[in-house]
Amino acid sequence: MNDEELTRRLGELPRSIEPPHDLWPGITARLAPRRRGLPRWLPLAAAIALVVGGLSVWWVARRATPTPSPVAVQAQDEAADLLVALERDPGALAPATIAALRQNLAVIDSAIADSRRALARDAGDATADRWLRAVQRQRLDLLRQVIRLPRS
């Protein structure tokens, strides 16, 4: 089979497949009721400033920078939520773990700041843009990982 034939066959695969079971009951059971009130980002910024104090230079400056792509926004939103989760439940993390997290977040945030400075000098710097995304991705992964770590 040549490449064209494979492309054709791939194109014929259905884009939509019905799941074998009705998954809605399992989903509704997990939907949290909506809370009203302040926009999501407002309490997050305050929480971050309180708990991890001064780490996220780029985060605080987020509102001032050009709009990132939808994918990047989702990643940033999730990173913010994870920090909030850590803030809500810090007691279950050992002090040494929190210290290690801070140290490593500082390394990452330094790299993020570096990339942003490069982009501020030259908005078309594709390499700096690529690094910025990569390091932001690592930041998110680290936070997810810390959340998953066993608490003892």
Partner 1 sequence: MVDDAPSPGDNLRVDAGQSDLVRRAQTGDTDAFGQLYRQHVGRVYALCLRLEADVARAEELVQDVFVRVWERLPGFRGESAFGTWLHRLAVNVVLGDRRAAWRRERRVFAVESPEVHETPRDVDPALALDLETAIAALPPGARTVLVLHDLEGYQHAEIAVMTGIAEGTSKAQLFRARRLLRERLGA
Partner 2 sequence: MTKGGRVRACVLAVTGLLLAGPATAQRSAASPAPRMLEVRVQDVRGLLTVTAWDRDSVALRGNAAGLGLRAVPGAVHLERTGTADATGNVELLLPRGARLVVRGGGSVDATGLDGEVEISAARGRIRLEGAMRRVSVEALEGNVEVVGPSASVTVHTAGGTVVVRGIRGELDVSTVSGAVAVGAARVTTARLASVSGEVSFKGVVQPSGTLEATSFSGDVELRLPPELAATFELQAPPGKVTSEFGSGTRFVTGRGGAWIVAATQKGALAVRRQPGADVDLNPGGSSGIR
Q: How far apart are CA 31 and CA 17, in angstroms?
A: 24
Binds partner 2 (CB under 8 A): choice among 55, 80, 101, 119:
101
Kindly state the smallest distance separating residue 54's Cβ from partner 1, in Å.
Answer: 25
Q: Are 58 and 115 in contact (CB under 8 A)?
A: no
Helix (H) or strand (E) holding 76: helix 70-88
What does the buried/exposed string (b/e) look like for 111-125 if buried means 16 or more CB atoms within 10 Å of the residue's CB?
Answer: bbbebbebbeeeeee
Binds partner 2 (CB under 8 A): choice among 38, 57, 94, 123:
94
Out of partner 1, partner 2, none, what residue 33 binds, judged by CB under 5 to 8 A for its kind, is partner 1
Cα four-point dihedral sign 59, 133, 82, 80: positive
Out of partner 2, partner 1, none, what residue 95 binds, judged by CB under 5 to 8 A for its kind, is none
Binds partner 2 (CB under 8 A): choice among 115, 119, 136, 140:
115
Q: How far apart are CA 9 and CA 118, in angstroms?
A: 44
Kindly state the smallest distance separating residue 79's Cβ from partner 2, in Å.
Answer: 14
149 belongs to the binding site for partner 2 (CB under 8 A): yes
Out of partner 1, partner 2, none, what residue 32 binds, judged by CB under 5 to 8 A for its kind, is partner 1
